[in-house]
Amino acid sequence: MNDFEKNQTSCNIKYKIARLPGRNLWQLGERKKNYKQTGATSAALLVENGYQVFGWDIEWMYNSKDYSPKQSIEELIIEIEQLFERPTLTFTANHVVLLMHNQMFAKVTAQNDLSLLIQKLKECGYRFEYLRKYPGV
């Protein structure tokens, strides 16, 4: 909790939004998801101190040996489309939170081109928003 508060103050961060490292826990207001895993106590403490705790609906996974993506951009888009077709699979219907890892983008290739992913998703009609605009925040 001290680290979150220190970062909030020293970086002048306005919004109390958090993601626990290595944990896909959610709590926005009274809504919770995945609270049976380790980290739930930390998430509850953050919420007590005014934070909204985000998990993710889908992850752009990578190979830990060379940080190359496990899903192609096209495969990832198909997975995202499937989430919109089955809204019960996401924390909030018609909203998808995509987790990506910065290691994947240290060396940009056609396989992991974030700008290409964004462009293709926009061409499909998807919109991007800040987490502070997520329903319930």
Provide the residue range defining the domain that includes 72: 56-130
Position 54 pLDDT exceeds 80: yes
Q: Which of 20, 38, 55 is the last residue of a domain?
A: 55
- For the segment 25-34, what is each residue's pLDDT rounded down to a tens digit? 999 999 999 9
Q: Which two tokens stand for residue 53?
A: 């705790």
Do 92 and 45 lie in one domain? The reply is no
Position 61 pLDDT exceeds 80: yes
Work out how many domains the chain is built from and give that number: 2
In terms of DSSP bridges, do strands 31-33 and 26-28 run parallel, antiparallel, or are they unpaired? antiparallel
Q: What's the mean pLDDT when you consider all of the chain?
A: 93
- For the segment 83-125, what is each residue's pLDDT rounded down to a tens digit? 999 989 999 999 999 999 988 888 878 778 899 999 999 999 9
Q: Has residue 137 been placed in a domain?
A: no
| C-alpha distance from residue 73 to each of 38, 76, 100, 115, 117 (Å) | 31, 5, 12, 11, 6
pLDDT at 110: 75
Q: Has residue 135 been placed in a domain?
A: no
Do 50 and 65 lie in one domain? The reply is no
